[in-house]
A and B are shown apart, each in its own frame.
Chain A
Amino acid sequence: METILGLDLPTWWFLVIGAVFSGYAILDGFDLGAGALHLFFKKEESRRIALNAIGPVWDGNEVWLVIGGGALFAGFPVVYATILSALYELFMVFLVMLIFRAISIEFRSKEPMHWWRRLWDVSYSISSILLALALGLVLGNVIQGIAIDQNYAYQGTLLDLFNPYALLVAVTTLALFMMHGAIYLVMKTENRLYAKLTILVKNTTIFFVLMFAITSLATLLYIPHMITRYKEVPYMFAFPVLAILAVANITRQIAYRKYFFAFLSSAFVTAMLIILVAVGLFPNIILSTIDPDLHITVYNGSSTEKSLKIMLTFAAIGVPLVGVYTSFVFWTFRGKVKLDETSY
């Protein structure tokens, strides 16, 4: 099997997808989080500022989901097909919520009526919350494994997906995004809203740290297969240690009101959590709870080497390009939000 820097192509592609989904979680994470917190802002002006803080970037953030979906389809078609068909209802609700969220942002400011704006505010916030929870549910079920048979067909029920552990991961994901979103918003706002957000940052951080601790404990106790990899390769323990240090650093930066560094830390934590899961699963991606022989791994679930090689070339050209113009857009809209005639 062909290797690059000692890693085979499927493993490389596993890393690429991990990186893309981390990018998605970091970027859409803060705007989903901002959405989840939206109803905490009571005044019309505050809500507009909060919306405009994500206004120029949320659409670009969602691109990472599209790239991630395409990359999974292309690199691991078996995984893509299996997970999407198994978690059918969950993804359908997810897609519909994506639509609701997009139109809420888009339509809210188009009419002046009080009820109109209230309606879209609520729809924006609820869809953001449900999206975060749905992502967490998917993650929780992937961590535990799902009931797939030899034809890659799901044998469980919808209710099985809402098991306690998956629900725990879902709430943790929401907590993470809320904290991440609050920190983003505090960087982009001033005056009254800033004061309000400093409190929200504290509360959401406490919420996240609590959930993080509970979920970690639950994983250690109930999901033993997530730890075997760390035992086999002890230096992998660096990741959980880094994750805990980064969480600690968020609270430290917040205490000093260094919100930019707090934001970098929460972005780092987000990436670390995905890496923790990825390391725990590897080389499996989807675990079959019916029979370990049916696990879908990076090897039996991947595209051919030729296809992976073509796409690694794409990624090598495309990802830096996307990075450049994403940075350009963020740079263009740096600083505190000011409402003007182009605002929502």
Chain B
Amino acid sequence: MNTEILSRIQFAFTIAFHYIYPPLSIGLGVVLVIMEGMYLRTGKQIYEQMTRFWIKIFALIFGIGVATGIVMEFEFGTNWAVYSRYVGDIFGSALAAEGIFAFALESGFLGILLFGWNRVSPRVHFFSTIMVALGSMFSAIWIVVANSWQQTPAGYRIEGEGMKARAVITDFWEMVFNPSSVDRLSHVIIGSFLAGSFLVLSVNAYYILRKRHLEIAKAGFKIALTVATVASLMQLFTGHRSADGVAKHQPAKLAAFEGHYDSSAVADMYLMGWTNADKREITGLKIPGGLSFLLHQDFTTPVKGLDAFPKEDRPSSRAVNVVFQTYHLMVAIGMALIGLSVLAVFLWWKGKLFEQKWLLQIFAWSVLLPQIANQVGWYSAEIGRQPWVVYGLLRTSDALSQSLKTEQVLFSLIMFTLVYTLLFVLFLYLLNKKIKHGPVDTHSEAIPDSSKRDNPILN
């Protein structure tokens, strides 16, 4: 194993782990705003109880998201020093903007969300919830902008040569609104709404099945179902727009998405399949000409295939299969989420939503689906960009820190693996515990007496 492979594994591992949490915070943030908004409007206690309950879960998720996010910020410099020098002029400003405009907002007001119940008025508390939710979305904006610039660079020029070469900003807004920013951002944000709302759906489905906290669970389920339905339908739209953008700006990646090798041929759309690098074809279930139709509204127009690019400028044949599989899994899950939420809304309309045990069982497990979709979607986006770290400009293999030694990366990779494993186990344990414990009747606890002070349940 060389330094490059190890560094790539380390980066992929740390970011994949980190990427479990921010989408949950973003989605949960929106659900929280609705819940607390309902509480302020109706004054009903169940909304207050569910808000308090979900804020505690939010804090747990947010805490791990922050801790693992700081790692990402510094890993660019530790492992990818050449990359950092190359893109600092551009990428750095997006990261700095994230810190100052988003992260500070989120972390500042989180304290009030958690500890401020008895110190600020309900309105100020609600305001803080909105700020935290907004902050988490602003974070996504800047991070996705930075990443999108790597996918479709714009608003820059290259200066210098060799080790001194770097991308220099020429137009800030062109950089921010590079060709893929808006599509990718909307896709990521909606994916986050799905992650958050399905967590709430899952937990509430579990409560309803167990006949616990029934009133709170049913009300919470309906709020989350509303968010989930709107989001899953919108995801169809943003997904299509993203794929369209990839076809225009990163054709080699799109060819990898669909395993399309031959530029002169009509492109089929596969529902599932397996790529065969030697025969340069896919075996699987397909809609003939489906991709051609999706991109050109015509079943017979050829689509640029992998063979249009030199071997060293496109994903390797092994990577193509990974990209193909992850991309298709993402699409399949997206469709499943639409089916699931639309079916549930239909039953709600019929007044039979909570009578279908099997459906609630599915919802109880459904929390995994958006998580998997977000993960594999990210893999296909990032692996599909290879061998480039900045598309068409800088190769991943050239981006590595020059002084880095294999044993250094091995040491840090092992350390992260151990720590993140521990972290994940603790996270699941505590999340499970909080869920088992469930929302509590807050009013009887509003004035804690001294005998309760060391009661662990109140801590």
- Which A residues lie within 8 Å of B91 (CB)? 73
Q: Are B92 and A329 in contact (CB under 8 A)?
A: no
- Which residue in chain A gives the minimum CB-CB distance to B114? A342
CA of A215 to CA of B93, assembled, Å = 36
B169 at the interface (CB under 8 A from A): yes
B401 at the interface (CB under 8 A from A): yes
Q: Are B103 and A63 in contact (CB under 8 A)?
A: yes
Task: Please judge, given known A-B contacts A67-B104, A100-B419, whether A74 and B454 are in contact too, CB under 8 Å.
Answer: no
B120 at the interface (CB under 8 A from A): yes
Interface residues of A in 144-158 (CB under 8 A from B): 151-155
Please tell me the size bucket of the interface on B: 35 or more
Query: A314-335 vs B: 1/0 string, CB under 8 Å?
Result: 1100110110011011001100
Q: Are A59 and B116 in contact (CB under 8 A)?
A: no
Q: Are A91 and B89 in contact (CB under 8 A)?
A: no
Count residues of chain A with CB under 8 A from any CB of chain B. Answer: 75
- Which B residues lie within 8 Å of A45 (CB)? 453-454
Interface residues of A in 258-301 (CB under 8 A from B): none
- Partner-contacting stretch, out of A109-117, A195-203, A219-227: A109-117
Looking at chain A's contact residues, the main secondary structure is: helix
Total residue contacts A-B, CB cutoff 8 A: 254
A56 at the interface (CB under 8 A from B): yes
Among A63, A89, A307, A322, contact of B90 (Cβ-Cβ < 8 Å): A307
Task: Please judge, given known A-B contacts A342-B117, A343-B459, whether A74 and B96 are in contact too, CB under 8 Å.
Answer: yes
- Which residue in chain A gives the minimum CB-CB distance to B106? A63
Q: Are B104 and A332 in contact (CB under 8 A)?
A: no
Interface residues of B in 385-407 (CB under 8 A from A): 401-404
Interface residues of A in 22-77 (CB under 8 A from B): 44-45, 52, 55-57, 59-60, 62-63, 65-67, 69-71, 73-77
Q: Are B81 and A60 in contact (CB under 8 A)?
A: no
Looking at chain B's contact residues, the main secondary structure is: helix
Q: Are B107 and A63 in contact (CB under 8 A)?
A: yes
Query: B362-378 vs A: 1/0 string, CB under 8 Å?
Result: 00000000000000000
Since A74-B88, A88-B401 are in contact, a sample of 12 more A-B pairs with Cβ atoms closer than 8 Å, ordered by chain A residue number, is A59-B107, A60-B104, A67-B100, A74-B93, A85-B79, A89-B411, A103-B63, A103-B426, A109-B456, A321-B105, A342-B114, A343-B459
- Which A residues lie within 8 Å of B78 (CB)? 84-85, 88, 91-92
A82 at the interface (CB under 8 A from B): yes
B118 at the interface (CB under 8 A from A): yes
> Which residue of B66, B92, B454 has the most chain A CB atoms within 10 A of its CB atom?
B92
Q: Are B84 and A77 in contact (CB under 8 A)?
A: yes
Among A44, A66, A88, contact of B70 (Cβ-Cβ < 8 Å): A66
- Which residue in chain A gives the minimum CB-CB distance to B452? A341
User: How near does chain B come to A223, taking the closest CB pair, in angstroms?
Assistant: 24
